[in-house]
Amino acid sequence: MGEDAAFQDLTPIPYLDDEVQSYLQERARSKGVEVAQLVNEMLRQDIKLIEAVK
Domain assignment present for 47: yes
Domain assignment present for 23: yes
pLDDT digits (tens, 9 = 90+) for 2-54: 555 555 667 788 899 999 999 999 999 999 999 999 999 999 999 999 999 98
Domain assignment present for 4: no
Check residue 2 and give its pLDDT.
Answer: 54
Domain assignment present for 9: no
Domain assignment present for 5: no
Q: How many angstroms separate the CA atoms of 53 and 51, rounded?
A: 6
Q: Which domain holds residue 40?
A: 15-52
Domain assignment present for 10: no
Domain assignment present for 7: no
Using DSSP's 3-state secondary structure scheme, residue 51 falls into: helix
DSSP string, 1-44: --HHHHHHTPPP-PPPPHHHHHHHHHHHHHHTS-HHHHHHHHHH
- Count of domains for the chain: 1
